[in-house]
Structure 1
Amino acid sequence: MKLILVCSLLTVLVSAHENYPPTPSCPCGRVYMPLCASNGVTYNNMCEFECAHRHLAQMGYHIGVIREGRCEEPSGFYEV
């Protein structure tokens, strides 16, 4: 229950970030293996990252995985 609440809160915070384009909903499993991406966003798993990667690439943004685990906070795009 706490994990769902934390994930919901992170989703709201990321969505509110003004420089962050929205990502589409993709049919990803509920496996929690967080990845920190070069856009400063923590994705719950590789599927969610790949979904965002495809969507952002169509908009001209390119992201990569920085490390396994959570990012500290959304902070804009890093160089890849």
Structure 2
Amino acid sequence: MKYLIFVVLLGLLVTLFVGSTEASFCPCNLRKAEVCGSNGVTYKNRCEFECSQREYKKLGRILNVRKQGPCFQIKWN
């Protein structure tokens, strides 16, 4: 009986782990074409932005592109 309970709990943990990692998996290329999000974060490219956008949507939040390029540019004179 203890063995059965252990196996069931282990199965539930594995299912939870696989479900949480699968949801956040978002393969993107390494091409750099920075995008500034409405959250003030600079994303490496449009694909990475869209991955974050999907996560925001799951939370009921909105994420838009503020502009092409980095959010903040430091100018050294």
Q: TM-score range by the shorter chain?
A: 0.5 to 0.7
Q: Percent of counterpart pairs with the same letter?
A: 42
User: TM-score, normalization: structure 2?
Assistant: 0.60
- Runs of 4+ in structure 1 off by over 4 angstroms are none
Q: Which has the larger radius of gyration?
A: 2
What SS does structure 1 have at the residue aligned with 2:67?
A: strand
Q: What number of residue pairs does the alignment pair up?
A: 50
User: TM-score, normalization: structure 1?
Assistant: 0.58
CA distance in 2, matches of 1:42, 1:25: 19
CA distance in 2, matches of 1:25, 1:33: 20
RMSD, aligned CA: 1.5
For structure 2, list consecutive stretches of 5 or more residues without a partner in the other structure.
Answer: 1-23
More helix by share: 2
